[in-house]
């Protein structure tokens, strides 16, 4: 991918801006550039010129930048879209971000800032593969699908962490794909040729979990007729993934701490010390800090696990990826159910992108599979979607309004971020939720804008 030229489509109804863009960017050998004078012309051009990146003006007659963005997200979800906007369009710029724009650029654009944005997207694209599944064009990083900026931060974190032997704590809501993240870390590590064992700790009773993890000796308890090798021993040389780590009992927490510190344990009912070289990845949707304060999770274990963390963003914070994932699941479940469903109708896609997805990617996958089963034609329509999605309407995700003046967009954004942070008592998770951005993105913006607690 890195050796191929990147296709750029610049869309603007003002010919002067189209000429400036071509003049400033035309000498960059990394790009093939075409332009369009309207949203309608851009959609026509995309049929033959499948752009990797579309840069669109926000304010255009007939079809504006947001309408074009929505069409591109539905038809070509693998295409990155940058929105160009003037200072007086700050409300619309924020709406474009929530509709799935990768980012926005202020007009008149600064070429250096524009190049920085394009470089970021190129780096993002280099992490991804396309057409991984038969007949598809979804953007994959290992077994993960996504190209939202929040996912780029996650992919970069995996890329940096995977080659090490560090213990990794993966945080995120239920249904966000924490096991897929763990598998991606393993796949990018030096242990990739060895075994990867996922363990759902919440599914193991307190009486069985120690035996399952560390094994037991013959006669250790009633029914233990032979020696059993546990998951840690089986994963020697490879990776073990402990999902729902917050559910393990205190006795198991102590044994796990010993494995982390010494790489040793004893089987249940045994006296022999077993040495293992097993990398530990774990995940939780619980607030381990609160569990630690409540004395239900060991403080020493928490600090051993919390050396390196990855955060899986909820689906509502990665709007760019909803059409991408919807089409990916459409192809997957159409093939599984021996159906030929080519597209998701525009009205159905509007419902999908406007829904809050409390169950995250898992809920989206289930919704698309159900829709495929009920669909009798070649296009998925609203009536095929679950009732809760059809009944829902896109609602404002924040009670905070922008106060427009002659300020620049970054100044407006910084002011809004401070307003939300103060209203949420500087709770980053709650503020990120209110702003509809990833927690890591919020943290980066706080640093970039120099926002400090009063």
CATH of the domain at 442: 1.10.10
Mean pLDDT across 262-279:
94
Do residues 308 and 438 both lie within one domain?
Answer: no
Is 75 inside any structural domain? yes
* Residue 406: per-residue pLDDT: 46
Query: What is the tally of structural domains in the chain?
Result: 4
Do residues 296 and 327 both lie within one domain?
Answer: no
CA dihedral 260, 261, 262, 267 (to 10 degrees): -50
Is 141 inside any structural domain? no
Tokens of 373: 């089963």
Provide the whole-model pTM: 0.79
Do residues 306 and 375 both lie within one domain?
Answer: no
- pLDDT digit string, tens, across residues 340-377: 998 998 889 889 988 999 999 999 999 999 999 999 99
Mean pLDDT across 422-434:
79
Give DSSP secondary structure letters for 168-215. Answer: EEEEE-TTS-HHHHHHHHHHTSTTTTS-EEEEEGGGS-HHHHHHHHH-
Do residues 191 and 297 both lie within one domain?
Answer: yes
Do residues 195 and 157 both lie within one domain?
Answer: yes
CATH of residue 364's domain is 1.10.8.60
Is 138 inside any structural domain? no
- Quick count: other Cβ atoms within 10 Å of Cβ 323? 22
Which whole-number Å values give the CA distances from 327 to 24, 139, 172, 348, in the listed order?
36, 11, 24, 12
Residue 398 CA to residue 317 CA, distance in Å, equals 13
255 pLDDT higher than 90? yes
Mean pLDDT across 104-109:
85
Nearest CA-CA partner of 356 in 398, 386, 393, 327: 393
Element (H, E) at 447: helix 439-449
Helix axes 178-187, 149-161, angle to 10 degrees: 40
* Residue 133: per-residue pLDDT: 52
CATH of residue 53's domain is 3.40.50.2300
Q: How confident is the model at residue 401 (pLDDT cuts 50, 70, 90)?
A: very low
Is 302 inside any structural domain? yes
CA dihedral 98, 99, 105, 108 (to 10 degrees): -120
Q: How confident is the model at residue 2 (pLDDT cuts 50, 70, 90)?
A: very low
Which whole-number Å values give the CA distances from 280 to 57, 168, 257, in the listed order?
47, 7, 11
Categorise residue 190: left if φ over 0, alpha if ψ from -120 to 50, beta otherwise. Answer: alpha
Do residues 52 and 172 both lie within one domain?
Answer: no
CA dihedral 423, 429, 434, 437 (to 10 degrees): 130
Is 261 inside any structural domain? yes
Give the domain-ending residue among 292, 312, 332.
Answer: 312
Residues 6+ apart with CB under 8 A from 115: 28
CATH of residue 229's domain is 3.40.50.300
- Residue 171 belongs to domain spanning: 149-312
Do residues 322 and 378 both lie within one domain?
Answer: yes
Do residues 266 and 294 both lie within one domain?
Answer: yes
* Residue 26: per-residue pLDDT: 84
* Residue 107: per-residue pLDDT: 85
* Residue 137: per-residue pLDDT: 62
Helix axes 346-354, 360-374, angle to 10 degrees: 150
Do residues 156 and 294 both lie within one domain?
Answer: yes
Do residues 301 and 357 both lie within one domain?
Answer: no
Nearest CA-CA partner of 326 in 371, 293, 286: 371
Is 396 inside any structural domain? no
Give the domain-ending residue among 261, 287, 312.
Answer: 312
Q: How confident is the model at residue 397 (pLDDT cuts 50, 70, 90)?
A: very low
Do residues 80 and 173 both lie within one domain?
Answer: no
Give the domain-ending residue among 127, 161, 182.
Answer: 127
Do residues 421 and 295 both lie within one domain?
Answer: no
């Amino acid at each position: 991918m890195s050796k191929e030229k990147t296709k750029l489509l610049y869309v603007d109804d003002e010919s002067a801006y189209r000429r400036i863009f071509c003049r400033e960017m035309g000498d960059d050998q990394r790009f093939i550039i075409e332009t369009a004078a309207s949203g309608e012309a851009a959609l026509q051009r995309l049929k033959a010129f499948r752009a990797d990146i579309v840069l669109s003006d926000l304010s255009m007659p007939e079809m504006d930048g947001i309408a074009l963005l929505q069409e591109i997200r539905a038809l070509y979800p693998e295409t990155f879209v940058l929105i160009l906007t003037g200072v007086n369009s700050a409300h619309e710029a924020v709406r474009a971000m929530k509709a799935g724009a990768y980012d926005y650029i202020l007009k008149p654009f600064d070429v250096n800032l524009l190049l920085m944005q394009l470089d970021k997207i190129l780096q993002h694209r280099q992490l991804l593969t396309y057409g991984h599944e038969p007949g598809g064009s979804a953007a994959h990083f290992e077994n993960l699908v996504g190209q939202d900026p929040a996912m780029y931060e996650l992919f970069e974190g995996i890329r940096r962490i995977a080659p090490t032997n560090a213990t990794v704590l993966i945080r995120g809501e239920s249904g966000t794909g924490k096991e897929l993240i763990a598998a991606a870390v393993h796949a990018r590590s030096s242990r990739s040729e060895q075994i990867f064992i996922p363990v759902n700790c919440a599914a193991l009773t307190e009486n069985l979990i120690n035996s399952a993890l560390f094994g037991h000796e013959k006669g250790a308890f009633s029914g233990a007729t032979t020696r059993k090798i546990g998951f840690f021993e089986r994963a020697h040389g490879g990776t073990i993934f402990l999902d729902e780590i917050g559910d393990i009992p205190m006795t198991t927490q102590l044994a796990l701490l010993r494995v982390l510190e010494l790489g040793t344990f004893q089987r249940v009912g045994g006296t022999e010390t077993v040495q293992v070289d097993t990398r530990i990845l774990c995940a939780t949707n619980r607030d381990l800090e609160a569990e630690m304060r409540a004395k239900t999770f060991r403080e020493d274990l928490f600090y051993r696990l919390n050396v390196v963390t990855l955060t899986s963003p909820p689906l509502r914070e990665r709007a760019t990826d909803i059409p991408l994932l919807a089409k990916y699941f459409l192809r997957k479940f159409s093939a599984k159910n021996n159906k030929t469903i080519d597209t998701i109708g525009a009205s159905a896609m509007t419902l999908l992108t406007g829904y809050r997805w409390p169950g995250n990617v898992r809920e989206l996958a289930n919704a698309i599979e159900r829709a495929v089963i009920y669909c009798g034609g070649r296009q998925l329509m609203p009536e095929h979607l679950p009732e809760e999605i059809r009944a829902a309407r896109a609602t404002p995700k924040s009670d905070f309004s922008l106060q427009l003046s002659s300020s620049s967009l970054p100044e407006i954004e910084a002011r809004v971020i401070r307003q939300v942070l103060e209203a949420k008592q500087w709770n980053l998770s709650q503020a990120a939720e209110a702003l509809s951005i990833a927690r890591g993105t919020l943290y980066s913006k706080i640093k970039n804008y120099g926002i400090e607690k009063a």
